[in-house]
Amino acid sequence: MRFSVTIPAYKSQFLREAIESVICQTFSDWELVIVDDCSPENLRSIAVPFLTDKRISYYHNQKNCGAVNVVDNWNICLSHCKGEYIINMGDDDRLLPCCLEEYDKLINKYPDLDVFHGRTEIIDDHGTLVTLQEPRPEWESAMSLVWNRWAFRNKQFIGDFCYRTEHLKASGGYHKLPLAWGADDISAARAAKVKGIANTASFVFQYRSNRHTITNSPAPKLSKLKIEATIAQYHWFTSFLDEMSREALSEEDAKYLKTIASPRNDFFRIALANDCTSYIAGIPSRLIWCYNQLREMQYPKSVFFKWFLKSIATIISK
């Protein structure tokens, strides 16, 4: 079997659309693996009518992995897969009809690679197009991938990527971080480290952005977890770059490595700023926690002073 498409499912609202987007593929050699993460919603009733298609299977977790450990459900999905390649999509996302066909073309052209990327349309709750993911070169190294991610803040989502299943399993599955925050970045860089990544210019995936996503939640508890995950991601990539510096790099990759510190630091500082602001929320002790977490990243002290003033202003306004 060529492709496994997985849906780690919890929400029912758009699940039917997600399933139908797989069934409508122009390329027919696929399986769909749905894993219900012990949802309180009746996902089974949505899935059952589709199970007459022998390519579709449905599993139900006895215990909920939850949003914090959602990568665990990604890897449960992976454990059920039989396809050579795997795409992991959200229960509210959609594959465009050409998705698997375009990936098959790309794989045939670059058969030795372990990871591929498809261009994404970002849609809202109504399926209306909001924006487009930026174009990428047909082939790029892991250094190019992370440099462009940080320098231009390229958008990317777990459903953008197609992995060689065997490689992903041998690597321990999708890299786990709380809330899957940065798990897509690390999983892709790890898979591209040796051979690089191939990108199709065709739009193949639709990511649904809405106010209910973890990304858009300002809840202090989630903000703290995002901070912890972002710092863990920063440390992982610092080690990754140290390893790359000991490799025999191409001239182009050597240039990326030489100039990467500034975009890396800016990327992570910006990523942390909003979450720190949401987490502190006028509570000075949380400001101290943030300072202790971030000081090794050489975060400017002026930023902490601004957060302190915002905290005081929040307290006064209450």
Mean pLDDT of 135-147: 98
Last residue of a domain, one of 168, 191, 215: 215
The residue among 16, 142, 153, 32 whose CA lies nearest residue 82 is 32
The CATH code of the domain that includes 138 is 3.90.550.10
Confidence of residue 283 (pLDDT cuts 50, 70, 90): confident
Question: For helices 261-280 and 220-245, what crossing angle results, to 10°?
Answer: 170
pLDDT tens-place string over residues 233-255 = 999 999 999 999 999 999 999 99
Say yes or no to pLDDT of 104 above 70: yes
Confidence of residue 102 (pLDDT cuts 50, 70, 90): very high
User: Do 102 and 232 belong to one domain?
Assistant: no
Ranges 115-124, 170-179, 205-214, 304-313: which has the least confidence: 304-313
Instruction: Please provide the DSSP assignment of 102-144 as one string.
Output: HHHHHHHHSTT-SEEEEEEEEE-TT--EEEEPPP--SEE-HHH
Last residue of a domain, one of 215, 242, 265: 215
CA distance 238 to 224: 21
Confidence of residue 315 (pLDDT cuts 50, 70, 90): low
Tell me the pairing of strands 3-9 and 161-164: unpaired
Residue 316, strand partner residues: none
Cα dihedral 305, 306, 309, 310 sign: negative
Vertex 114 angle, CA 105 and 97, to 5°: 35
User: Do 231 and 179 belong to one domain?
Assistant: no
Number of separate domains in the chain: 2
Last residue of a domain, one of 215, 239, 263: 215
Q: Tokens representing 65?
A: 């992995």
User: Do 235 and 202 belong to one domain?
Assistant: no
User: Do 254 and 119 belong to one domain?
Assistant: no
Domain coverage including residue 70: 3-215
CA distance 71 to 174: 7
> What are the backbone dihedrals phi and psi of residue 170, each rounded to the nearest 5 degrees, phi first?
-65, -25
CA distance 120 to 89: 12
